[in-house]
Amino acid sequence: MAPALNETSRKVCVMDASGYVGSSLVEQLILRGYTVHAAAQNYGDLQVLQRLIGDTKNLKIFESDPLDYHSVIDALKGCSALFYSFEPPQGQHIIDEYMADEEVRAAHNVLEACAQTDTIEKVVFTSSATAVIWRGDCDSKQDFDERNWSDVNFCRKFKLWHALSKTVAEKTAWSLAMDRGVHMVSINAGLLAGPDLSIKNPYLKGAAQMYEDGVLVTVDIKQLIEAHICVFEDISTFGRYLCFNHVVNHPKDAAKFARSLMPLSASSLPQSFEDERIFQQRISCKKLEKVMMDFK
């Protein structure tokens, strides 16, 4: 593993810190000795986080809207890095074209703020595997890795709003980062497995096609958080990193996965699918695996 960042650069910002990923990041970064600026749109959510972590001088709370440039600047002040993930406004569970536009504007605003903050050395941008896997030539047998981008026109045509928003937001962030000289890496995460996962998750639009294409991938929270911290601390990291630790491509896996999405209906769901085909995995996260090999 490459040398870690300078030990004096121990103050980082996590935005949005109120979500499952953000709050887990805050907790692990504090355990690793970082001072964390935890930023979220709803201050009340962060007070809950503060109670969970306890009284510590290493946690500072900021109410910050990614669409409010000055509130982002305030949260970043004095930090050497930003861990950024977009969380829809509270109560907004449906991803549509309007929400996609909002996510893109937020990404632009946050990266511009990073460019204007002299102390920022690195940005870890949370994106999605859905920004990689959707393209018009579905019959192509080409495997997917970090070099691939989802086709924006294809996503719009089939109303794959989650994929559209993640693709355009990440492209916007990369364009601005390169133009402003911001050192950025992205984590293109699979579907986050966990207690809150349900059939309503917007990532799952097109899940049957993902399954047959061998690209329906999931990641657990431990792996995802470790990946974020690893690509931050390793100074050799660059570009995009697909992140997942399970591929759903077997009938029994698919049936188990379906039951996890609809636990109340689990008894009526099949134990396996009639179609016994095992679909070849066609997506790779070898780039991240190589970086994480010696991560501690």
Determine whether 209 is exposed, middle or buried from the number of CB atoms within 10 Å of its CB (0-12, 13-18, 19+).
middle
φ/ψ of residue 188, rounded to 5: -95, 90
Residue 274 corresponds to which tokens in the numbers above? 């009639």
- What whole-number distance in Å separates Cα of residue 70 and Cα of residue 4? 30
Report all structural domains of the chain as residue ranges with CATH numbers, in order of start: 11-193+219-244 (3.40.50.720)
Strands (E), 26-144: 35-40, 59-63, 81-84, 122-128
Q: Is the dihedral of CA 70, 74, 80, 85 positive or negative?
A: negative
Specify whether the CB–CB gap between 131 and 161 falls below 8 A: no
CA dihedral 161, 141, 237, 227 (to 10 degrees): 60
- What whole-number distance in Å separates Cα of residue 133 and Cα of residue 130? 5
Bridge partners, 39 (sequence order): 15, 62
pTM: 0.91
Give catalytic residues, as residue numbers.
166
Q: What is the pLDDT of residues 231-278, one digit of tens each?
A: 999 999 999 999 999 999 998 889 889 888 876 554 455 555 566 788
- Note the pLDDT of residue 92: 57
Which residue is associated with the tokens 């449906």?
Answer: 94
Specify whether the CB–CB gap between 66 and 110 falls below 8 A: yes
What pLDDT tens digit does each residue of the chain (296 aa) get? 444 445 447 899 999 998 889 989 999 999 999 999 999 887 666 666 767 666 678 999 899 999 999 999 999 999 999 999 998 765 555 677 888 899 999 999 999 999 999 999 999 999 999 999 999 876 667 899 999 999 999 999 999 999 999 999 999 999 999 999 999 999 999 999 988 888 889 999 999 999 999 999 999 999 999 999 999 999 999 999 999 999 999 988 898 898 888 765 544 555 555 667 889 999 999 999 999 997 86
